[in-house]
Amino acid sequence: MTADKRKVKGDFSDISALEKQIDEMVYELYELTPEEIRLEIIE
């Protein structure tokens, strides 16, 4: 694997971590229950 491909793969993992943080902030902002969060993930 070249250095460029490793860099791209790393960037995607950083994006995934940021998406998870944003999701958690939205859940808290709208005071969603764990059941409502599960429904959102399933759909």
Domain housing 23: 3-42
Mean pLDDT of the chain: 81
Res 2: pLDDT: 58
Q: Tell me the average pLDDT across 22-28.
A: 96
Q: Tell me the average pLDDT across 14-21.
A: 90
Q: Count the domains in the chain.
A: 1
For residue 6, pLDDT beyond 60: no
For residue 29, pLDDT beyond 90: yes
Return the closest-CA partner of residue 37 out of 18, 19, 26: 26
Res 16: pLDDT: 87
Report how far residue 20's alpha carbon sits from residue 23's, in angstroms, rounded to the nearest whole number: 5
Task: Enter the pTM of the model.
Answer: 0.61
Cβ within 8 Å of residue 3, ≥6 positions away: none
Burial of 37 (0-12, 13-18, 19+ CB in 10 A): middle
